[in-house]
Amino acid sequence: MKKISHTIARFFSVAFVLLFSLFSSSQSARANTVDDVITSINVYNQKGEELTDSLSPWEKFQIDANFAFNYGKVQPGDTTTIGLPVEFALEGADFEVKDDDGNLVATAVVDASSKQLTLTYTDYVLTRSHIEGKVHLLARVDHNVVRDKGSIPLKLIVGKKIIEYGKIDYKGLPGQATPYTFIKYGWNNADNIKSITYSLNINQQNQELDNVVISDTLGFNTGEIDLNSFQILKGSWVVDPADNSYRLSQQREDVTGNYTINLAADKRSFTINMGHIGANEGFYVRYRVNFPTIPADGTVFPNDAILRADNIEEQKSSVAVRYQRANGYAHGDIYGVQVTKKDEAGKPLAGAEFTLYDEDGVTVVQKATSDANGIASFSNLIKEHYVIKETKAPAGYQLSDEEIQVNAAQLKNYGSGIIYKDFTNRQALITASGTKTWNDDNDKDGKRPDKITVRLYANGVEVASKEVGPNAQGEWKYEFTDLPATGADGKDIVYSVTEDRVYGYTATVDGMNITNTPVPGVPQPPKPSSDNSSKSSSSSSSSSSSSTTSSSSSSTGSTVVIIESDDGSGGGNASNVGTKKVLPKAGENASWIMIAAGVALVGLVGFIAFRAKKK
C-alpha cells in the first residue's frame, strides 16, 4: 500500500513539474525581445550640454536613447536590451519608466558587469495608441580597457540592431598620480538614489601632522548628514596601477570607533579631532548625505572641507557633486475622434448614428449619435487605425455611404488629442407618382383629350407641373422625382396633386391617383378658337411625403363636373349642372328651326283662340 501511495505521489510530482515547465515555457514564449523601438540617441556632458570636450577618467557623460512604438508593436513582458561597447562602463541604479501621471510603462535594470540596460514593458502598452519616451543612461570610458588618449567609437547595441553615434574623445590616464595632504571627493550612489556620498583623503604626502582637526560644511540645506554612515579607515596610501590614482592599501583598518564626530544640530556640518597623524599614516573618511526626496537631475550639491594642523598651513578642499542618475520617462496617447454632422448647407444635424469599427471595418468598437450641434464623439481610442461609418441617417436625410479612415498619426495635425472629421448628408429625396384613369368606356363618346396637366403641391404650395399623356402601352402615368422629404423645420412635407379642368368630365383624386368620369349629356367639346381658351377647374387630395410610388393613403373622393358655359367655352361652374339651358348655335341642324317655327305657330293659334273666346 505504501509503495502504491509512493508511486502515485511521484506521478503527481512529475506531472506538476511538467505542467509548471510548460506554463513557464508558454510565458517565456510570449515574451519577445523588441530591438526596433530605439529611434535615435543623443550624447551630453554632465551638465546636459553637447559633448565637445575630451573626457577624463571617471568623468561621466549622458546617453539618451529615444524610443517610440505604436499599439500592438510591444506586448506586456517584452524586453528591449541596450548595451554599450566594451570600451565604456555603464553606471547608475535600476529605475522605473513612468508617464506624466505616474503610470508604470517599463522597468529598467542596469547591469554594470554586462554593460547592459534591460527594459521590461508593462500592461501600459495595451492602454495607449502611441508610446514614446527616452531612457537616460550614465556612462564613462572604462579605464580598465582604454588607458591611452584617443577617440573611441560610440554605438548602442540594441538586440541585433546597432545604432551608431560617432566618436568620443578621451584624455587617457594620467602618467603619474599627484599626492595631496587633503582632498575631497563626492559621487552619486547607485544603491540609494536619495543620497550622495563624500570622502576625505588625508596625508597622501606622508607628513607628520600635529593636532589635526577636520571641519566639513554642506553648501546646501536640502539634505542632512547621516551620522550613522561615517566610516574612518586607516592605512597607507599607494598608487593603484589600474587608474594611476591613490588608494589605501589592503592592509587598512576601520578606526571609526576611535574618533568622535561632532555633528551640528542642523546636520549640515561636523568636526573631527584627529589628533596626531604619523608620517606614514593615511586616513580615509567617508559619509553620506540623505535627501527627503529624489533630487532633480542635474542639481549641484557643493561641499567645503578644511584641515587644520599645527605644523602646516590650512588645507581647504571643495567639491560639487552634480546629481545624476539613470532614469527614463514615457508618454502614451489616448485620443478621440469628433464627428460633425451637417447638411449640404452647413446646418448641424442631430440624430445621426455613427459606428466606429476596428481596422477591419467589421468589428464594432463604439457607437455614437450626433447631438443638437451635430457632434458625435468617440473617446479612449488606442489603436492606430479605425473606420467610421454612418449607420443611421438623421430623419429626412439620405444615409451617407462615406467611410472615414482614422489614423492615430493624424493627431499631429490637431495637437489636442482629438481628430476632427466632417460628415455631410444630402437631404432624403422621394418620388411622388400616380396613375390617370379614364372611366369612359375607352373614350366611347370621343371626349377624351390627348393630354392633361397635373400640378404638384408641397404643403399647399405649387412646386411643379407636367403634361401627361398616354405611354406606348396606353397608360396615363406620371411621377415627380427628387423631392425633398422634409422641410427646413425637419417635419415631413405633405405632397398633393391637382388636375387642370378637363371638358365634360368629373375628376376624383385618390392619393396621387386621378380618375376621370364623363358627364352624361355633355356633347363632344368644340374645337378651341384662337381667342377663347378654356378655363380650369381642379380638385385635390393629399399624399404622405413618405411615398415613393403612387401613394397608398386614402382620402374622400371629390367630383367636379365640367359643363359648357353660355359662350361655349366649357367654363361653367359645377353648381350649374342640370339648371342651365343649352341653346342652339348658328349652323346647327335645320330641325332646330322647324321646331322653333312649330312652337311659334302653336302659340299664335292659341293666342287667337283665347282672344275670340273672351269677346
Encode pLDDT of 559-572 as tens digits. Answer: 333 333 333 334 33
Q: Is residue 3 in some structural domain?
A: no
pLDDT tens by residue, 43-73: 999 888 999 999 999 899 999 999 999 988 9
Domain boundary pick from 425, 444, 468: 425
Three-state DSSP class for residue 261: strand
Domain harbouring 533, CATH code: 2.60.40.1140
Domain boundary pick from 115, 149, 170: 170
Q: Clarify whether residues 437 and 411 are in a common domain.
A: no
Q: What is the mean pLDDT of residues 185-195?
A: 92
Q: Is residue 157 in some structural domain?
A: yes
Rounded distance between C-alpha atoms, residue 300 and residue 223, angstroms: 12
Length of the chain measured in residues: 615
Domain harbouring 348, CATH code: 2.60.40.10
Least trusted range by pLDDT, from 34-38, 213-217, 591-595: 591-595
Q: Is residue 561 in some structural domain?
A: yes
Q: Clarify whether residues 454 and 553 are in a common domain.
A: yes
Three-state DSSP class for residue 459: coil
> What residues have CB less than 8 Å from 299, skipping those under 6 apart?
322, 323
pLDDT tens by residue, 67-93: 999 988 999 999 999 999 999 999 988
Of 351, 353, 406, nearest to 384 by C-alpha is 406
Q: Is residue 25 in some structural domain?
A: no
Q: Clarify whether residues 414 and 437 are in a common domain.
A: no
Q: Would you state the pLDDT for residue 484?
A: 86
What single-letter amino acid sits at 341?
K
CA angle 601, 606, 608 (to 5 degrees): 100
Q: Is pLDDT of 550 > 70?
A: no
pLDDT tens by residue, 330-382: 998 888 899 998 888 888 989 999 999 998 889 999 999 999 999 999 988 88
Q: How far is CA 253 from the centre of its chain?
A: 65
Q: Is residue 81 in some structural domain?
A: yes
Q: Is residue 600 in some structural domain?
A: no
Q: Would you state the pLDDT for residue 528?
A: 56
Which stretch of DSSP H or E encloses residue 24? helix 2-30
Q: Clarify whether residues 208 and 156 are in a common domain.
A: no
Rounded distance between C-alpha atoms, residue 555 and residue 540, angstroms: 10
Between residues 578 and 446, the one the model is more confident about: 446
The residue segments making up the domain with residue 226 are 182-328
Mean pLDDT (the chain, rounded) = 83
Domain harbouring 99, CATH code: 2.60.40.1280
Percent of the chain clearing pLDDT 90 (strictly above): 58
* Number of structural domains in the chain: 4
Q: Clarify whether residues 421 and 471 are in a common domain.
A: no
Q: Clarify whether residues 312 and 193 are in a common domain.
A: yes
Q: What is the mean pLDDT of residues 251-278?
A: 97
Q: Clarify whether residues 255 and 206 are in a common domain.
A: yes
Q: Is residue 317 in some structural domain?
A: yes
Q: Clarify whether residues 193 and 311 are in a common domain.
A: yes
Percent of the chain clearing pLDDT 70 (strictly above): 79
Residue pointed to by grid coordinates 588607458 = 147
